[in-house]
Amino acid sequence: MQLVIVESPAKAKTIEKYLGSDFKVLASYGHVRDLPPKDGSVRPDEDFAMDWELYRDKQSRFKEIADAAKGASRLVLATDPDREGEAISWHVQELLKKRKALPTKVDRVTFNSITKSAVTEAMKSPRELDQPLIDAYLGRRALDYLFGFTLSPVLWRKLPGAKSAGRVQSVALRLIVDREREIEAFKPDEYWSVLAHLEHDGTAFDARLVRYKGEKLEKLSLGAEGIAMEAKAAVEGGRFTVEDVEKKPLKRNPAPPFTTSTMQQEAARKLGFSASHTMRLAQSLYEAGAITYMRTDGVQMDPGAINACREAIGEKFDAAYLPEKPRFYSTKAKNAQEAHEAIRPTNFSRDRAGGGDEAKLYSLIWKRAMASQMSTAQLERTTVTLRDATGQHELRATGQVVVFPGYFAIYQEGLDDQDDDEDGILPALKNGDVPAKTGVEATQHFTQPPPRFSEASLVKRLEELGIGRPSTYASTIQTLRDRNYVRMEKNRFFAEESGRLLTAFLERFFPTYVAYDFTAGMEDELDTVSDGREDYKELLAKFWQDFKPKADEVMEKMPSEVTEVLDEYLSDYLFPPREDGKDARYCPLCDAEGRSGGRLALRGGRNGAFIACANYPECKFTRSFGPPREDGDEAVQDGVMGQHPETGADIHRKSGRFGPYVEMEVDEKKKRASIPKDVDDFDLEWAIKLLELPRIIGAHPETGKEIEAAIGRYGPYLRHDGKYANLKTTQDVFDTGMNAAVTLLAEAAERKGRGRAKAEPIKTLGEHPTSGGEIKVMPGRYGPYVTDGTTNATIPKDIKPEDIEAAKAIELIDARAAKGPAKKKGRKKAAPKKKAAPKKTAAKKAPAKKKAAAKSDS
């Protein structure tokens, strides 16, 4: 028997069918072991020795592999054809050696797609494990461990609220923060454009003013309304004649088939998928045999695939859409290895595969690969120049038409930030024509700051800089979101304050290690290791000899020293110049209460950084980390707002870590209420109303019990007899009357009576290889779980439901199914009665009267 090891059970099932009865194919379910997450797993003082630990949830799986290996004549390591796949094969081999279960013959085979021909051909060309590739994995894994496990404790002790830092993660975060800074520093410039609406032979078109008073107009030439109106008047008063009509042919060539990076970018642009979701879908399509391997930076297709692609084009389109010769591509990306084919369908005659999001991604892959071998798109751009009688003013109209669509017939590449396309159709014009003028408009514009990164543009920028590897971008981006260093709004990344603070800390104390060129240079060095040109331990030694002393130096600093340095470093951001001319650091509360010396500074607390007054504890002013709010003068907003009309107690407005709130002392206890975001003009009257909540609406007409309105953790609500109903706005808390409240509570009860709304899956992971049911990650009453529709399996607490992969889900479901159905809990059986010991003779007592059984209330 020959034992074949692959990563996933889906692959195992398919490949075993291809290879026949002499082969047994088992899945490792991904990586089988890793560096334990504790100090000492990598020991620089012992020549970077590493300790590895078998995952607890893989022990039974690996025992199955080891037992099968003992009876095998040959071990075939057929994990994925990349660095991680090579590493998994190496780990499996090393573990089998330790268990003395390694067959005498060990081969490594790789295939780029899971088709019968690809698998059987690969089995004919075995090789040994690629040691330089394994060394590159070891170097990268040790580097990431040393960076994270050395730097993270520094963060925890010196930067309260910080969660972690990573070698690539921190640089990706810096990109987002730097873009935020560019946007904040941007000063918009005003400019105007003048557009004439013209018509000729019944066709309307527009022409832009490009020359005024004999001077060519640049973007900012018309910088004010006055000059713009003068230019508009000149166009309105002029008679414009066509002086020149220029037609230029344009050609557009197709983009190459997808790499990992370009697939993530296009899926984000066209389908709105996150990088992690795209990779999960691609993994499923690959394991189903629909596409080639999805972790690649190569842009070339196999010659046989190119021929198959051209045949498919010939069947679907006429001869003009197929170029005479095949197209060949080479990558322009930095650090590209081009070790594998581009991502393409395994069968070009199949234009559909999978269902739902999988089908959408497959369609994108199929169209992109097909388009890559199709004819050039032919366009024609027309430029019409019109001048007035003086020759001093000039209008220009441009139009673009598609003469022959070529590859446009199936696919066009998306853009992150599109300019206005001038692709309108112009009427047939010739020199001397005088189009009719139907109107002239002058429009004000302002220059725009650079756009925030989308997932697509961030992935593109990381790849351009050579930072990290495309196969790791999805997990890197997800980590930034999980740590709450960034947030997504309208598919754009915004840096959170915690992300800005961490970036500032790293820039100030570890500038080398968040520098773009350093991180990219490290990737270059790791590539030289994978090529066999450098020893990975020498690379680690060079890194460690500088990084460790720097980390120790920062660890020796007092937290107050770190905060003081960051206070100065972030001064312009935290304390921008004030419009009223006051000191940017002045304390509004001290100013309002007549105290001197009140200046604001950055402080560190248990829950993170914040802004506080130097007069503490006399002055309790605080605000959250970040610049002052833009919604008004803090001197007015923080401090005593007034007194309660009945008790006379002071009502204070304060700024806390979670936002602004009001506070009042009641019976020697402080009562607080958060200020809702949907209240625009917050004043003393609002503060009193919030502090007096809950509001009693009255007695319910059916039960006689009170109905109250209040604001809770999840927003405004109604409560009656332990039942709840949501309200839409804060104002509803104070405006809702008895009739509306009774109706809302009844509707909420009716919805609950119909049962809970069907929970939406957190994610879907494709078909289960055995049951055929769709695998879903679901939220549950007792925690998240995975299901194939037949078996439910709880997700371990140390695994985030968003991060679980198909292989792990299948393993959990299979393990749960193997245990059989859960036993129903019932009453414990009474213990068997012991035989009573013989009683001594005693005087007989009258039998006690039996008590009547208590009646049940049910």
In whole angstroms, what is the distance from residue 113 CA to residue 291 CA?
Answer: 7
CB count, 10 Å around CB of 330?
10
Q: Which of 129, 25, 136, 121 is nearest to 81 (CA)?
A: 129
Residues contacting residue 490 through CB under 8 Å, at least 6 positions apart: none
Helix H, strand E, coil C: the string for 195-213 is EEEEEECCEEEEEEEEEEC
Residues contacting residue 775 through CB under 8 Å, at least 6 positions apart: 764, 765, 766, 767, 768, 786, 787, 788, 806, 809, 810, 813
Phi-psi region of 450 (alpha: psi -120 to 50; beta: other; left: phi over 0): beta
Q: What SS3 state is found at 656?
A: strand
The 3-state DSSP composition of the chain as helix, strand, coil percent (nearest 5) reads: 35, 20, 40
- Alpha helices for 268-409 (secondary structure H): 275-287, 303-316, 357-371
Both structure tokens of 51 = 């300790």
In whole angstroms, what is the distance from residue 256 CA to residue 773 CA?
Answer: 36
In whole angstroms, what is the distance from residue 557 CA to residue 551 CA?
Answer: 10
In whole angstroms, what is the distance from residue 61 CA to residue 27 CA?
Answer: 8
* Positions marked catalytic: 293
Query: Contact, 143 vs 522, CB < 8 A?
Result: yes
Q: Is 264 exposed, middle or buried, given 0-12, 13-18 or 19+ CB atoms closer than 10 A?
A: buried
* CA dihedral over 105, 111, 114, 115, signed as positive or negative: negative
617: preceding bond cis by omega (within 30 degrees)? yes
In whole angstroms, what is the distance from residue 304 CA to residue 345 CA?
Answer: 12
Helix H, strand E, coil C: the string for 341-361 is CCECECCCCCCCCCCCHHHHH
